[in-house]
Structure 1
Amino acid sequence: MFIDYVAVYLKAGNGGNGLVAYRREKYVPMGGPSGGDGGNGADIIMEVDEGLRTLMDFRFQRHFKASHGENGMNSNMHGKNSAPLVLKVPPGTIVKNKESGETLADLVEHGQQAVIAKGGRGGRGNSRFATSRNPAPDFAENGEPGEELEITLELKMMADVGIVGFPSVGKSTLLGTVSKAKPKTGDYHFTTLQPNLGVVSSKDGRTFVMADMPGLIEGASEGTGLGLQFLRHIERTKVLVHVVDISETDGRDAVEDYLTIRREMGLYNEELLNLPEVIALNKVELIDHDPEIIKHFTDGIDSSSDIVEISAATGENLDELLYKVADLLEVQPVVKEEIETESRVIYRHEKDPDHFVITRDDDGAYVLSGQSIERLFMMTDFNREAAVRRFARQMRTMGIDDALRERGIKAGDIVRILGGEFEFVE
C-alpha cells in the first residue's frame, strides 16, 4: 500500500538526573562533593533511506519515545548518554510541525539526516556547583526533559517524469507499456489511487524514472477528488507528459481537459507551469489520425510544447515520445537541492528563550509560562531546600519577581508553573 501522508507523535529522551554525593574515603577527612552529571537523553533523527518508497512503516506505529539518559553516579562518574533514535524515511519526505505547520526538514538525499526532536541535557551533579563560598553544595539538577511534539510526514515522489492528465485518459496504460511497472488499469475513473513508478529505457539507451499520478479533476487545487495527492507529487518532477484523450470518449472535450489541468496546476503552484512538457495525444487509433481533430486541438490550446500522437494500447509512436522526453531531460539544468542550508533542514527554538508570560487562572493564581522558566522548573529538585533557594534566585535574575509585582502579586498569593504551585514570598 502506498502511504504518502502520516501524523506522528515524537518524545525525545529526558536527560539523566545529577547526583548529590560526597567522598567517603577512609583517609580523606571532610571529603568534597562527588556527584556526577546525568547523561543526555536520546535525540530523534529522521534519515533518508533510498530503499524506501512509501511511509508505510508509520501506518501502524505512530508514537515514538526515545530512551532517557542515565543518572549521574558517585565519584563524579557521568551517566551514559543515550544513542539517538533514528527513523528511516523515503527520499522526498517533508517533516512539518503539526500544530504550527512550520517545515522542520526537507529530506531528499540518501543518508541525509535531520534532528527533529532534541533530547534533554543531563542534569549537573552537586560537584559542579561547588564554590569557595559553598564548597559542599547539597543539591543537583534534574535532567532536562526531551522535546515533545506532533509532526506530519509528507512524501513527494522523486521521479524524473510525471504523467499527468484527467482520469481514464490512458496514463497507467502508457506507464505499463513503456516500463515493467504493473499499474492497475480499467475503463473507469480513478483506477489509479496512488502514484506508480516505473523505470523507462528508450531504444537509444537513455534511462529515466517515470511516475503515473492519480487523475486530476476541476477543483483539484482546493482538494477536490485526488487533486492534492496528485499535485504534491509532480512538484519534484523535471518533465511532464500531459496525456490527453484525443478521441474524446465519454463526451470529453480534449481542449478543455488540457486547459483545466493547466489551470489547476497554476492555482496550486505557478512554478508547475514552467516545467517542460510533452503533450501525448492518446487513442489516435480511434480517430484514424484525423488531421482536422488534431488541428482543432493544437489551435485551441495555443501551446509551444511538443505534441506526439500516440496509442498507449497499441504502442504506436511511443518510441518517439520517449525520445522527446529524454531530450528534454538532457537539457534540464542539474540543480542540487540546498539540503545543507537552514531553509532545507532546520531545527528551530524560540527566538527569545528567556521570554515569559504571566496570566491569571480563574481562582486568581498567577500562571507563568515560557521556555526558560519551564525548563528551569523541570530541572529543579524541589525536595532539597538548597535547590529551591537556587530556583528562587534564578527567577529574580530573570526579572520574574519584578514582573509579578507589577501585575499586583502579594505575599502568600499562588504562582503556578506547569501544574506545580507555590506561594509568593517577599
Structure 2
Amino acid sequence: MTEGNFVDYVKVHLASGNGGKGSVHLHREKYIAKGGPDGGDGGRGGHIIVKGNKNLWTLIHFKFKRHFKAGHGEHGSKNRSTGADGGDVYLEVPLGTVIRDTATNKILFEITEDQEEKVILEGGKGGRGNWHFKSPTNQTPRYAQPGIPGQETQITLELKVLADVGLVGFPNAGKSTLLSVMTSAKPKIADYEFTTLKPNLGIVQHRDFKSFVMADIPGIIEGAAEGKGLGHYFLRHIERNATLLFLIPADSKDISQEYAILLDELRRYNPELLDKDRLVAISKSDMLDEELMEEMRAEMEEDFKDVPFLFISSVSGFGVQQLKDRLWALLNE
C-alpha cells in the first residue's frame, strides 16, 4: 500500500431517511358503501449503519465521497398496506475504527470485530394510517400521522491501526528499512527525518508458515504527547499494537536516555501503553565491531534489566531472524 493511499482520518456528513406518511383512505368496494378507514402506515426511513470489514486496512474509500443519505420510507396506501422501508446505507470501515461526533469530539463507539454493525443514525418512523384512529365516536377519521423526519449529523472516522507489533523510535532510526527487510512492504526510505508520514503495514513471514503483522509508525519526537511534530496524529496507532518494538540506532549519543524519552512520551499520551510487552532492538549494528558491541551489551544489561534487548542490522541481516523469533515468542506467551 502506498503512503498516499493510507487514509486514517476523515469527516463525513450523514442523513437518515424520512418516515413515510400514513394513508388517509376509506375502503370502497362494490356492494360495500361505507367500508370504513383502511389507510396503511408509512414505512420507516433508512438507517445509517457502520459495519466492520476485516479486509479493509484504510479509510481511502471515504476520500472522495463524504456525504451519505439513506432512502425515505414509502407512504402507506389502501387496504392497510404499509409503505416500504427506506434503503439503509452501510459504511464499511476497517477494524480499529473509532467513530466520534465531530461537533463534541465525543467517542460514540469503536468497531473492533468483523461484520460488527452499529446503527449510527436511525431513520424516521413512518406515520400511522387513519385506520388506527377509528373509534366508536369517530368511525371515519380523515386524518393520519405524517412520517417523522430523518436526522443529520457529521461524524469523524479515526482509524487506529490493528497490528501485532508496532515499531517505536525517533525519526531516522531505521524503522522503514527494518519493515522492508522483514516484510514485503515497500515503505519510502530516505536519509532524512519524517520520511514516513503515515503508518505502513507489513506481514512478517515466520517459520512453519506462521505470520504476524508489523506496523511502522512515524517517528516520535520529544513533546509528541503534547502534539509537537505529528503529535497525536500517529501516537494513537500505537494503542492497538500488542507488542512494542523500540528501535534505537547504535550511533545514538545515549541509548538509555533515548529509550527513556520514548517511554515517557508514551506514558504521557496514555499510561496504559506501558503495560504492553516491550522489546528493544539496537539497529545499524553493522557499524559496530565485536569488542564495542560487547562493551555496549554490558552497559545495557545494567540499564535494561526489565526489558529484553538485542542487536540487529537491517542492511546485513544480522540478528533479524533472532528478532522474528523473539517477537513471535512475545506474541504467543
Q: TM-score range by the shorter chain?
A: over 0.9
Aligned counterpart, 1:280:
281
Cα contact 1:14–1:119 (8 A) shared by 2: yes
d(CA) in 2 for partners of 1:117 and 1:36? 25
Q: Which amino acid is 2:137 matched to? A: R
Q: Does 1:304 align with 2:306?
A: yes
Q: Does 1:234 align with 2:238?
A: yes
d(CA) in 2 for partners of 1:262 and 1:38? 59
Aligned to 2:151, which of 147, 153, 157? Answer: 147
Aligned to 2:65, which of 58, 61, 84? Answer: 61
- Within 5 Å, give how 1:180-329 maps onto structure 2: 180-203=184-207, 205-248=209-252, 252-289=253-290, 290=292, 291-299=294-302, 301-329=303-331
Q: Does 1:165 align with 2:166?
A: no
What does the per-residue CA deviation read over 1:140-176, in whole Å, with 9 as the maximum and x for residues that have no partner? 1111112221111110111111111001000011111
Superposition misfits of 4+ residues, deviation over 6 angstroms: none
d(CA) in 2 for partners of 1:19 and 1:37? 6
d(CA) in 2 for partners of 1:88 and 1:217? 34
d(CA) in 1 for partners of 2:155 and 2:283? 42
d(CA) in 2 for partners of 1:303 and 1:40? 63
What does the per-residue CA deviation read over 1:105-155, in whole Å, with 9 as the maximum and x for residues that have no partner? 211122111111111111111111111122221211111112221111110
d(CA) in 1 for partners of 2:180 and 2:233? 21
d(CA) in 2 for partners of 1:97 and 1:303? 44
Aligned to 1:127, which of 121, 126, 131? Answer: 131
d(CA) in 2 for partners of 1:213 and 1:52? 18
d(CA) in 1 for partners of 2:231 and 2:175? 15
d(CA) in 2 for partners of 1:78 and 1:303? 71
Aligned counterpart, 2:44:
40
Shift of 1:102: 2.7
d(CA) in 2 for partners of 1:146 and 1:317? 59
Using structure 2 for the length normalisation, give the TM-score.
0.94
d(CA) in 1 for partners of 2:153 and 2:262? 37
Identity %: 44
Cα contact 2:99–2:110 (8 A) shared by 1: yes
d(CA) in 2 for partners of 1:59 and 1:206? 34
d(CA) in 1 for partners of 2:305 and 2:239? 21
Q: Which amino acid is 1:316 matched to? A: F
Cα contact 1:215–1:227 (8 A) shared by 2: no
Structure number, greater radius of gyration: 1
Q: Which amino acid is 1:160 matched to? A: D
Shift of 1:303: 4.3
d(CA) in 2 for partners of 1:132 and 1:298? 91
Give ranges in structure 1 of 5+ residues lacking alignment: 332-426
Using structure 1 for the length normalisation, give the TM-score.
0.74
Q: Which amino acid is 2:332 matched to? A: E
Cα contact 1:214–1:229 (8 A) shared by 2: no
Higher relative contact order (CA 8 A, sep 6+): 2
d(CA) in 2 for partners of 1:302 and 1:195? 28
Count residues in correspondence: 327
Give ranges in structure 2 of 5+ residues lacking alignment: none
